[in-house]
Amino acid sequence: MEVELITIGDEIITGHTVDGNAAYMASQLVDSGFIVRYQTSVGDNSEDIEEAFRQALKRVEIVITTGGLGPTDDDITKRSIVKVFKRNLIFHEDILEDIRARYAKRGIEMPAINQNQALLPQGATFFPNKNGSAVGICIAEQGRIFISLPGVPFEMQQILGDHVIPYLLGLGARQAVRASKVRTTGIVESRIAEMIIPDLKLEPGVRLAYLPGYRGVDLRVIASGETQEEADEKARTLVRYLEEKIGRYVYGYDNDTLESVVGQLLRDNDRTLSVAESCTGGLLGATITSVAGSSAYFRGGVVSYANTVKLQELGVPQDVIDKHGAVSEMCALAMAAGCRERFDTDYALAITGIAGPEGGTEDKPVGTVWLGLATARDTRGHLMKLGGMRDVIRERAVYGALEMLRREILDIR
């Protein structure tokens, strides 16, 4: 079944919010076998919203909107639904009770304005919202399904996953589609292309896309077939081909992240990790601990932003800093070794570099980053010359460090 996503809000059309909702919904729907044909964004303007609703109801079977269901004045989606579907708003006492209970739990009195949240178009059903006060609204009419979800991402995500997708899957026949992602890091897009294109034969119904990002290049495989088995097999065949050609750069698949893969490797091998960070200021630790359960292998670390901290907390010798500077292989090695000893871990990763925009020199331009890795066997350094802006350099340094550890654990040289 074909879907149109409509995201609503001045904040989107004027660019003050990134439209992560459209991406999230599309990905969940595609993975469940639906086809997303259109994504449209409009501002908080009744006329444009109604027009977008009418347009979408003409061309697809399922329309899903987000935004404009909150308690405040700029939330006009409900009024537009009422106009397009020619229905009245009905008050639902049970919804209001839920909202009141939610506020009570947080120890806050419910602002009266939330009463608007308990109004639904006549004949609509609703999907409960675990994380907020705006419920999802569902109207089924003349072979069309129209669903409105709140715009707050984690509220939308919960309603979509817990209610909307199960509901839609129950409606009818699924398309046979398999979407897979092969995730690489440490290799540029054009080099991947050179390695895989010469022998590449794409079966009918199979598509391959390169998705370059700061952290690496993902390869997206989308395969369709008469049956799910056929689609799965086509996708598997292409994934195997990619592994053959560029396997050493492949750290994971689909929703794997490098931090989750490295975490699993540490856990499987019963190893522990600590970190010493300079230019990344804690981003490596934050990335590692974004994985739930990371306390099983991650002990902690030192953010040695000032040089005095490198000396006092990590035992970097003063003359390493004097002779080689804080951004040097010697300093990265001393940071890693000092951290490993101090935190008594199997591995310690260190990052020291120049994230910019200031601080670069002829010898060490902005983007110069030294990584250090201390193990039971030895301590090694690795130089990265990174492009991009401050945040990009920091993210790439973090991914470089995690990849260095992945290769160490898997003994990839």
Q: Report the residue from 240, 387, 410, 412 that binds a copy of itself according to the rule CB under 8 A.
A: 387
Which listed range, 17-25, 58-66, 136-144, 405-413, lies at the site for a copy of itself (CB under 8 A)?
A: 17-25
Shorter beta-carbon distance to a copy of itself: residue 51 or 230: 51
- Residue 213 burial (CB count, 10 A): 12
Helix boundaries (H) for 111-247? 153-159, 165-169, 189-196, 228-246
Contacts of a copy of itself in 303-332 (CB under 8 A): 303-306, 308-309, 313
Long-range contacts of 330-334 (CB under 8 A, 24+ apart): 331/370, 332/370, 332/371, 332/372, 332/381, 333/372, 333/374, 333/379, 333/380, 333/381, 334/310, 334/372
CB of 26 to a copy of itself, least distance (A): 3
CB of 259 to a copy of itself, least distance (A): 11
Residue 1 is a binding residue for a copy of itself (CB under 8 A): no
Shorter beta-carbon distance to a copy of itself: residue 139 or 340: 340
Shorter beta-carbon distance to a copy of itself: residue 131 or 140: 131
Residue 106 is a binding residue for a copy of itself (CB under 8 A): yes
CB of 10 to a copy of itself, least distance (A): 5
CA distance 219 to 212: 8
Shorter beta-carbon distance to a copy of itself: residue 139 or 183: 183
The count of residues interacting with a copy of itself (CB under 8 A) is 109
Ramachandran assignment for 223, one of left (phi > 0), alpha (psi -120 to 50 degrees), beta (any other): beta
Residue 39 is a binding residue for a copy of itself (CB under 8 A): yes
Contacts of a copy of itself in 148-207 (CB under 8 A): 152, 154, 179, 181, 188-194, 197, 207
Q: Report the residue from 213, 240, 361, 412 that binds a copy of itself according to the rule CB under 8 A.
A: 213
- Residue 377 burial (CB count, 10 A): 7
Q: How far is CA 286 from CA 118, 261, 275, 365, in A?
A: 39, 15, 11, 26
CA distance 205 to 234: 9
Paired with 36 in beta bridges are 3
* Helix orientation angle between 77-85 and 46-59, rounded to the nearest 10 degrees: 50
CB of 238 to a copy of itself, least distance (A): 13
Helix boundaries (H) for 141-282? 153-159, 165-169, 189-196, 228-246, 258-268
Contacts of a copy of itself in 265-294 (CB under 8 A): 275, 277, 279-290, 292-294
Residue 131 is a binding residue for a copy of itself (CB under 8 A): yes
Q: Report the residue from 244, 318, 357, 410 that binds a copy of itself according to the rule CB under 8 A.
A: 357
